[in-house]
Structure 1
């Protein structure tokens, strides 16, 4: 039994606590190929990172922990995450504007490639979508609204400079 900050007793019987850390993330990154094709054996990876963990955690605590290294997200998984998030935007476009949104594969590839840094990873997808893509889509839709009824379809592409392009048309 433990007590929380207000003196209430907390029972941790039959409880698993997950703790995450970025300790040794650079070592894990080096051990795994960029394409994620060949992951090293788990026991070898744990043996590689254990000295870093031992410098940070007390031996008694580390002995009670099960070490589960998290592998970096490979490019294909990152693309799947981008597609899931873009599908939510497509759904909103259909519901709010009755507009079909088509996204070119280059857009998915570009966003996924920009999210491979360990520090930001998949969180950067939201930043790109909310900070770049959605404001530009909003601006384009507002521009279209001034010209008359909204088109039925929006195609999002990518130019040679890595900038988003937008083309409106019929389904």
Structure 2
């Protein structure tokens, strides 16, 4: 049964956090089940067993209202930002569903400083993966700024950044390793030129 995975997981570990990402994309049947869960604190699985959810915390994320939040945040109006976000939520979800949610947290759009910090973190993780091959990865400030700009989306935040890193750094670097252009022991410097990332590498 569709609910089997969830009910079985909670039956085994009743003290749990359930994360439902992008809840606006859920099928109406899933929302009906979720409504029952939030209302009764329990679900019945396909085998007729009732599973208690009273010790679980349910967290749902949604991208609904992202553009409205962005516009209100640009105006610097905190109250308006929340008001617009809730208005969009009410237009999408049924009142009985929203009324069973304890709290709704509206997140601010990412600032340039936060985007830069995310880029630094992702680049650091990538550099750690290259240590096994004794390759040092160095990105210029221009390259990092390019990633921060191109890896950000108003709706999805910094989620596109990982795909961008894969497309513009990881895959090209893997090809250079395969064809011998980049060898173990080298330092690879990544810069930005005319809106594209370019690779410069030193001798081992």
* TM-score calculated relative to the size of structure 1: 0.79
2:67 equivalent to 1:31: no
Partner of residue 102, structure 1:
138
Cα gap change, 1:5/1:102 in structure 2, threshold over 3 Å: closer, same or farther?
A: same
Match of 1:86 among 112, 123, 134: 123
Q: Distance in 1 between matches of 2:94 and 2:156?
A: 29
Counterpart contact for 1:31–1:40, Cα < 8 Å: yes
* Further displaced range: 117-126 or 106-115: 117-126
Partner of residue 48, structure 2:
7
Instruction: Map Cα deviations across residues 1-55 of structure 1 (whole Å, 9 max, x no partner).
Output: 321344321212143211222222221111112xxxx8533x5433333333223
RMSD: 2.4
Counterpart contact for 1:46–1:67, Cα < 8 Å: no
Shift of 1:124: 1.2
Q: Distance in 2 between matches of 1:62 and 1:120?
A: 22
Counterpart contact for 1:24–1:52, Cα < 8 Å: yes
Q: Distance in 1 between matches of 2:126 and 2:90?
A: 45
Match of 1:62 among 95, 98, 108: 98
Q: Distance in 2 between matches of 1:20 and 1:117?
A: 16
Structure 2: gaps (5+ residues) = 1-41
Match of 1:17 among 58, 61, 64: 58
Partner of residue 88, structure 2:
52
Partner-residue secondary structure (3-state), 1:64: coil
Instruction: Map Cα deviations across residues 61-119 of structure 1 (whole Å, 9 max, x no partner).
Output: 323321211222222212211111111221122222x1222111111100110122224
* Further displaced range: 50-59 or 70-79: 50-59
2:191 equivalent to 1:157: yes
Cα gap change, 1:80/1:6 in structure 2, threshold over 3 Å: closer, same or farther?
A: farther
Partner of residue 74, structure 1:
111
Shift of 1:127: 0.9
Higher strand share: 2
* TM-score calculated relative to the size of structure 2: 0.68
Equivalent residue pairs, number: 161
Structure 1: gaps (5+ residues) = none
Match of 1:111 among 147, 154, 177: 147
